[in-house]
Amino acid sequence: MSAHSRIAVTLHTSDPIYRAGVDGLLRYRPELTLVDATDPAADIQVALIVTDTVEEPTLRLLREIKRAGTTRSVLVVADIDETKMIDAAECGIAGLLRRADATADRLVQAVTKAARGDGYLPDDLVNGILEAFSRLRERLPSPVEQRLTELSDREIDVLRCLAAGLDTAQTAEKVGYAERTVKNTIKVLQTRLQLTNRTHLVAFAYEHGYL
């Protein structure tokens, strides 16, 4: 794999041991290039954030990354609190991993999916996240429920594929749409329903009986 085709990744962590560990896992992976977040010439595709717990400094960093442009965030965290994960999802994370499960291969998989515009969430975390969404249902603005009744057949097809864990290419193949159509459908749904990412979309569709 050429250097040009590698995914540019920057690492954010305040712990020097975490930094050394992740650097050791990823530095020589051919799929990735680790770059300095302060390099103005770097075209960073994915920000990898490693932390113990999701607290306000982490959420603030996620918001800054989201506002800054097209960089996608993957969060690696030791202690996963589903309610905190909702806050992180609202800040635009594209992937989530437990620190204990963060092998080199899983990190590369999460980063690759994020760079493609897909999401990464371990199967055993899905139910917990959905339950947390259910508990926080009162946070939904009332217009969202009304707009959910207006989903088209195409939108429902795409949501079902996302819920099954399919990425953009797999969804396009399954439902018979072009990848660009799938991406546009997801973008339109996020905008219309005031949601920030695919995990939100799937959770709300479950909550309202579409899946």
Taking Cα atoms as reference points, which of 166, 61, 62 lies closest to residue 113?
166
Whole-number Å distance between alpha carbons of 60 and 57: 5
| pLDDT value of position 94 | 84
Bridge partners of 7, per DSSP, are 32
69 domain-assigned: yes
211 domain-assigned: no
Instruction: Report the length, in residues, of the chain.
Output: 211
| pLDDT value of position 148 | 52
Query: What's the domain count of the chain?
Result: 2
**Residuewise pLDDT in 10s, the chain (211 residues):** 555 589 999 999 999 999 999 999 998 999 999 998 777 777 889 999 999 988 888 888 988 888 877 889 999 998 877 667 777 777 778 888 888 889 999 999 999 998 988 888 776 666 666 566 555 555 544 444 545 556 788 888 888 888 877 888 888 898 888 888 898 888 888 887 777 778 778 877 777 676 6
Q: Which of 131, 162, 187 is the last residue of a domain?
A: 131
Sorted by sequence, the CB contacts under 8 Å of residue 105 that are 6+ apart come out as: none
78 and 126 housed in the same domain: yes
| pLDDT value of position 3 | 53
Whole-number Å distance between alpha carbons of 36 and 19: 12
Q: Which of 81, 113, 131 is the last residue of a domain?
A: 131
113 and 148 housed in the same domain: no
155 and 102 housed in the same domain: no
Give the CATH number for residue 98: 3.40.50.2300
Find tokens 């990898």 and name the residue. 48
- The domain in which residue 119 lies consists of 3-131
Q: Are 76 and 97 in contact (CB under 8 A)?
A: yes
Alpha helices in the chain (DSSP H): 16-26, 56-68, 82-90, 104-116, 123-135, 142-148, 153-163, 168-175, 179-192, 198-207
Give the CATH number for residue 148: 1.10.10.10
Whole-number Å distance between alpha carbons of 166 and 79: 26
| pLDDT value of position 143 | 47
96 domain-assigned: yes
| pLDDT value of position 9 | 94
121 and 146 housed in the same domain: no
71 and 104 housed in the same domain: yes
Q: CA dist 10 to 26, 61, 69, 157, Å? A: 11, 13, 14, 34
| pLDDT value of position 2 | 52
Find tokens 């999802």 and name the residue. 89
Q: Which of 77, 97, 131 is the last residue of a domain?
A: 131
157 and 118 housed in the same domain: no
Taking Cα atoms as reference points, which of 72, 27, 17 lies closest to residue 50?
17
126 and 160 housed in the same domain: no
160 and 189 housed in the same domain: yes
